[in-house]
Structure 1
């Protein structure tokens, strides 16, 4: 069903600071400042909120709908499966089709682990990890290295590839996404900006740059008080990547890799 407006905002929810920030970045930032995020490596607009019952997961989802002024399609696993029984996969497909018809909207699936059910191991494909050169290529691709949005030197690419040993392609993509958002987080948390001429040929003639409160040209504002087109987004640097790496661990451990290699030796070839 489409949930009604609860009147609850993220500011009304006590605690869960990191979760609220992630929800802001994944959803509200796309609505409020679409131009800032459209080129950031296809940043995800999906969020998995997990934890024991009663910690505020459903309340958070409803608050996001209020913040974004968007309808929430709320689905409960127990109600859904009891209604459709054996037709889970087809009905999930119809659910997402309905959500597409209602967009922009928020699709909130409560207890999604029950809806998804057991994973079929027969669908699992063992694709082995990229080597050093492949990781360099992946990093450059995911970070749009040829654009002005990225400021990483050639020797730094090698260093990053060395630090992502045992990372899968998906792991590397997640690291890049997290790093891409680091520069945006600087904008989100900034309290002082100053106007500087835009050196690019495109308009506008001036842009808002982040500055310290002690800067003589500083103005105390937040990004909510600016026009998206006038904001200067700092380029992604090596420091952003180094900050993201500790937050994203490899999803495949050495024990898993040993199993995959054993399977490859027995039944197939290692990629």
Structure 2
């Protein structure tokens, strides 16, 4: 009997995954009735409690299916009203030969797009915590290119048309921790557009064919809410190079992405920009690289950017560092990324606290951060970018980059 119950529950979940909510609701109800009959027979309190928890889970699934039926019933009523409406008079001989929808041959309804689009709607980023361009130290050229490609076209769409239309794909590549995601957050805050933050977990599914439908739903919602920006962090995890050994599901997902980005369905006047960020640009497929028409190299911070970043991080900390010591610190932090410098400043701020007693901490007596604090922190915090990897990024930028 338990095997039959498990099979019934699996069937209910299968109906739900195919969005057949009415069948799923009825199957969940059958499983609940069987579980209730089992519960009455249990004498062990642990088994009874386990069955009650299972019933509660199935009840929640049944309530979800019931809630999904109401909007689908409304859509069905609209479809029937459309079918029963009088056929319009043909305006030309070509239109008169087209087959009109009828009750026996209704047009297909993509009911599966509704729940998937609702999932995509949840990925719209709330820009209530704004990030300005001034919050990002350095990276003047990437900031200028992003403003030209996204910010200005969203503010003056009547100017950026035709040959001046903004690019549909922008790739941010470079060493890890250099501010690629921070640039995307600034775009989300400054651009007057709908911003989607997408990861591989959003677009992958264990159900056959659902990943491609999620990609289609993503671009459908983006078109509906345009101007839109779609940001995909670690884009190489989704759009890597295709090969014969690649899994079929991954290949179908990439194909749908390529079609939606620049396929026969694409419109040259669409205001949709796809921003991808990656630390491994060499793993992207060539077709994907072609669709990212602007490939912006996000380099390690230079000396003025490092000084600005350290000054911003240490502004609320009591420090005692001279200009000569600052120049020495710049030499010691060669090959440090922005995130490495943030970790270094945090470690340096903790160094003076390690010499204090509990009484001194209670009184709030904290010595200033000195250059010796940074020297001690440098023995713990190391750069995450090697010389060889930096040379590779520079060479890839010379071959494929836009700056």
TM-score above 0.5, yes or no: no
The alignment's TM-score, normalised by the length of structure 1, stands at 0.41
The higher radius of gyration belongs to 2
Task: Point out which structure has higher relative CO (alpha carbons under 8 A, 6+ apart).
Answer: 1
More strand by share: 1
Question: More helix per residue: 1 or 2?
Answer: 2
TM-score, with structure 2 as normaliser: 0.28
